[in-house]
Structure 1
Amino acid sequence: MTPSPSPATPGLTWLNSAVESDARSALQEVCAARAWAGAVLDRRPYATPAELLAANDAAMAELTAEDLAEAMAGHPPIGRPRAGDPSSAREQRGMAGASDRLKEEMLELNLAYQEQFGHVFLICATGLSGEEMRDAARSRIGNSPEEEREIVRTELTKINRIRLTSLAETARPADVEGERT
């Protein structure tokens, strides 16, 4: 007997029924690449969160180097989460309790990485300690631009999956208002 698919969640229901501009705005909070948001929008509706995650994976695989650059521009450097952005702070909490020395080292690595590749060091920081992020930056700084672009694609895919899961599970304000009327 095959298991039945998981039911749609409040955020997924909202994403499926939202007007395109609202859905696009929500998706671009997940990933700043316009091509990615367009590809995910084009695949609506989603019966399950797993279908949404599969759409993410497919859209990420299709991004060009320019699209990846646009996606990376939406991410702050590791160790400096975007002020007022709870997702950024949550994703980078491994650096929150880091020593001043580790934070300084991460800043130096971020600058060297950016000099080498022309963009921020990007890693799916969720669940990683400051030391693990530092070690990853150290090891990746020697990569070729082509190798690093594919690593970044993989890391962005992971970040998007975490953010999309949250989006799919969370009722949007319009959902709650609609239930009250």
Structure 2
Amino acid sequence: MTSSSTSPASAMPGLARFNAADGDVALALLREVCASAAWAREILARRPYPDAEALLGASDAAVAALGTGDLDEAVAGHPPIGRPAPGDPVSAREQRGMAGAPAGLRAEMLELNLAYQEKFGHVFLICATDLTAEHLYDAIRNRMDNTPEREREIVRGELGRINRLRLARLAVHPVSEGATRP
């Protein structure tokens, strides 16, 4: 057997470990990717995944199928933009575009975050990876004019993008015992 005939999952140590992990461990890892229990159970039920694309496709389908309460649960697991969860390297990494923002822009983002949450009933959710503070500011300002229905669909799309990035990281990086947060 040549090295080119190895299975795609075996070429991705994190995916191989995820596929082989005990159900409780795998579920905990998934809940770190997305706070929705329904999403995590759906992804867990489809294991093993032959490759990352299958895992990502399953995630896309699970996000699309989330009911209102499940989507709310998923969004509730995300800290506001500009205020990553203390001690959480994942949210800090994902929101690093806000880290060096001027104080005035950070204050405006806080104000907009509060107005957004008042209007829509949840945190402003955006896939913030690689976005600048200015881009995040423009995005929240633009989305404030959306209807709740339109915003819910945008949030669903952003959640899907976030989950994809986190799952891709989980698939590539080996998962160690007791580790959380891909």
Matched, 1:86 2:89: yes
Whether 1:110 aligns to 2:113 is: yes
**1:72 is matched with which residue: 70, 75, 100?**
75
Q: Structure 1 residues 85 and 52, CA, compared in 2 at 3 Å: closer, same or farther?
A: same
Q: Distance in 2 between matches of 1:116 and 1:152?
A: 14
Q: Deviation digits for residues 86-114 of structure 1, max 9, x if unmatched? A: 11000000000100000000000000000
Q: Displaced runs of 4+ in structure 1, greater than 6 A?
A: none
TM-score after normalising by structure 1: 0.92
- Tell me, in whole angstroms, the C-alpha distance in 1 between the residues paired with 2:18 and 2:91: 22
1:168 corresponds to which of 162, 168, 171: 171
Total equivalences in the alignment: 173
Aligned counterpart, 2:8: 7
> What is aligned with 1:63?
66
Secondary structure, aligned partner of 1:173: coil
Pair 1:48-2:28 in alignment: no
2:38 to 35, 47, 70: 35
TM-score, structure 2 normalization? 0.91
Q: 1:151 aligns with which of 138, 143, 154?
A: 154
AA at the equivalent of 1:85: D
- Which residue of 96, 100, 104 maps to 2:99? 96
Whether the aligned pair in 2 keeps the contact of 1:60 and 1:153 (CA below 8 Å) is: yes
In 2 relative to 1, CA 92–15 (structure 1 residues): closer, same or farther, beyond 3 Å? Answer: same
Q: Percent identity?
A: 61
Q: Which residue of 2 aligns with 1:129?
A: 132
In the superposition, relative to structure 1, how do residues 158 and 21 fare at CA in structure 2: closer, same or farther (>3 Å)?
A: same
Given that 1:5 and 1:48 are in contact with CA atoms closer than 8 Å, whether structure 2 keeps it comes out as: no
Match of 1:179 in 2: none
Which whole-Å CA distance do the structure 2 matches of 1:6 and 1:56 have between them? Answer: 21
Distance in structure 1 (CA, Å) of the matches to 2:143 and 2:47: 36
